[in-house]
Amino acid sequence: MKKSNNSFVTVFKSVGRFIDQKVITPLTKFLLGFTKKSGESSKSFERWLNKKNTLTFLSLALSLAFFFLVDSKSIVLVETSAEVLYNQPVEAVYNQEAYVVEGLPESVDVTLIGRRSDLYLAKQISNQKVTADISGLEPGTHKVNLKYENSINTINYKLDPSTVTIIVYPKVSEARTVNIDILNQDKLNSKLSIKSIEIDQSEIIIKGAGHALEQVSTVKALVDIENLVDPTVGVSNLKDVPLIAYDAKGQVVNVEMVPETINATISIVSPSKEVPIKVIPKGNVEFGLALSSATANITKVIVYGDEEAINELQYIPVEIDVTGLNSAKEFNVVLNKPAGIRYISETSVNVKVALDKEVSVEVPDILIEHTGLDSNYKAVALSDESSKTSVIVKATQSVIDSLDTSTIKATIDLSGYGVGDHEVEVAVTGDELKAMYTAKTKKVKIRIAKK
């Protein structure tokens, strides 16, 4: 105890010497200098200043002032403050294999209250967390208090929210078939095509509350083509393909899936085919004229795309509008990709059109065929005039001379017609697209009956 008192006295004397040397002595010299300059009128003030009691009291006053100044600064350093930590994750403690919890927030805001130094330290420590202990709760609705765990006892906290209402459900499970959904297929090289995708697990288990599982309409494996590294012709493997559950409206349903991801094997091919260009005039040229030729600068192109679409494709249509045309003209047409076709070796084609005088010819006895009739019905013509028609063909003489009349077709569309007698319009087409075709019999009468 005695040593402690001696230490205190030593410190106090040191402070006193410091104040005397750095504050009292310089101030006294300043005052003395000031009084000398003031003359005889200030001698009384000098005598008062030189008194021992005066200097003692002056030192005491300055020491007290210095003490209060330092003390006020210390108070600022230790005063209470507040800090808000936003979006702090909430950890729930419960048996996740047996139960599902709804209503628990993913994050909360935490307001910390304490000294500034403690608040700074609290933000540097990473072991604080917000928890909700619901391990002992049975299925049903409950109010739960959230707790903020931290290692600094001098800090108070406030949670927003601090109490939440949750619903505990028993966890159930079901087996579901996985469907494949291809993402970013258009990012694949346009000459490549996806032939097939195989996944290593076609059935998975979904887990969750009963009402959530009832909402699940489909489970999809999202195969993202962008995740393939340098895809080329052959087989590519894609790991950790995510699984997503959707309801009937396409909204994501939050359920647990076992496994969470699967692997996919993607077969990539590059099917191609050479097909002809087919020029198709649209509209009617000026009266009295007809198309004598419509010649494209290229006759064939190579197409790439889906294998099925390529197999069905017979030609690339090139439509030109010749409405009101009265002289030769050259058209530049951009080639449009048909459905399923991803790449065409040419992007555009030039078509030169020439005109000549129009002539006409009548082609008799073209059989009228029907299309679109339901397979449960049959149709018969009510007269000979309704089974055949003559067709007027208008074109240039050179086109007429080379016309193959067997390519002329007369048809009636019976889509949507039922049992009974009907009068139906006749349509005529032909392979020679530079000619115009008109049926002399505009409508025919047919009878539809059940087979």
Region 133-139 average pLDDT:
87
Q: Which two tokens stand for residue 298?
A: 């290229």
pLDDT for the residue 97: 87
pLDDT for the residue 311: 93
Region 115-138 average pLDDT:
81
CA distance linking residue 422 with residue 440, whole number of Å: 19
Cβ atoms within 10 Å of 295's Cβ, excluding its own: 12
Q: Which of 116-125, 211-220, 243-252, 412-421 has the lowest mean pLDDT?
A: 116-125
Higher pLDDT, 118 or 413: 413
Region 322-351 average pLDDT:
95
CA distance linking residue 262 with residue 245, whole number of Å: 14
Report the largest interatomic distance among the alpha carbons of the chain, rounded to a whole angstrom: 153
Q: Which pLDDT band, with edges at 50, 70 and 90, does 11 fall under? A: very low
Helix (H) or strand (E) holding 60: helix 52-78
Q: Please state, rounded to an integer, the average pLDDT across all residues of the chain.
A: 86
Going by their DSSP bridges, the two strands 409-413 and 427-429 should be labelled as antiparallel
Q: Is the separation of the CB atoms in 340 and 305 below 8 Å?
A: yes
Q: Flag whether pLDDT at 26 surpasses 50.
A: yes
Handedness of CA 63, 66, 72, 75 (dihedral sign): negative
Cross-strand partners of 410: 368, 428
Please spell the DSSP secondary structure of 74-109, one letter per residue: HHHHH-EEEEEEEEEEEEEES-TTTEEEES--SEEE
Q: Which pLDDT band, with edges at 50, 70 and 90, does 328 fall under? A: very high
Q: Is the separation of the CB atoms in 92 and 54 below 8 Å?
A: no
Q: Is the separation of the CB atoms in 305 and 339 below 8 Å?
A: no
pLDDT for the residue 137: 87
Q: Which pLDDT band, with edges at 50, 70 and 90, does 354 fall under? A: very high
Contacts of 213 (CB under 8 A, 6+ apart): 172, 173, 174, 206, 207, 255
Q: Flag whether pLDDT at 251 surpasses 60.
A: yes
Q: Flag whether pLDDT at 35 surpasses 90.
A: no
b/e code 188-207 from CB counts within 10 Å (16+ = b)? beeebbbeebebeeeebebb
pLDDT for the residue 157: 86
Q: Flag whether pLDDT at 7 surpasses 50.
A: no
**Which residue stretches of 142-221 are H helix?**
210-215
Residue 23 to residues 16, 18, 20, 307, Cα–Cα distance (Å): 10, 8, 6, 98
Percentage of the residues of the chain whose pLDDT score is greater than 70: 82
pLDDT for the residue 342: 92
Helix (H) or strand (E) holding 12: helix 2-19
Q: Flag whether pLDDT at 17 surpasses 90.
A: no
- Measured at the CA of 121, the angle between CA 119 and CA 123, to 5 degrees, comes to 70
- From the centroid of its chain, how far is CA 394? 55
Handedness of CA 186, 192, 195, 199 (dihedral sign): negative
Higher pLDDT, 228 or 33: 228
Contacts of 350 (CB under 8 A, 6+ apart): 296, 297, 330, 331, 332, 333
pLDDT for the residue 391: 96
Region 155-166 average pLDDT:
89
CA distance linking residue 273 with residue 275, whole number of Å: 6
pLDDT for the residue 82: 84
CA distance linking residue 112 with residue 89, whole number of Å: 16
pLDDT for the residue 355: 95
pLDDT for the residue 1: 42
Higher pLDDT, 22 or 95: 95
Q: Is the peptide bond before 170 cis (omega within 30 degrees of 0)?
A: no
Please report, as a single letter, which amino acid is at residue 5: N
Q: Tokens 């010649």 map to which residue?
A: 295
Q: Which two tokens stand for residue 195?
A: 């032939």
Higher pLDDT, 340 or 30: 340
Q: Flag whether pLDDT at 380 surpasses 80.
A: yes
374 Rama class: left (phi>0) / alpha (psi -120 to 50) / beta:
beta
Q: Which two tokens stand for residue 153?
A: 């006892």
pLDDT for the residue 79: 64
Q: Which pLDDT band, with edges at 50, 70 and 90, does 42 fall under? A: low
Q: pLDDT tens-digit profile of 53-98?
A: 666 666 667 666 655 555 554 444 456 788 888 888 998 888 888 9
How many residues does the structure list for the chain? 451
Percentage of the residues of the chain whose pLDDT score is greater than 90: 61
Helix (H) or strand (E) holding 397: helix 397-401
Q: Flag whether pLDDT at 265 surpasses 70.
A: yes
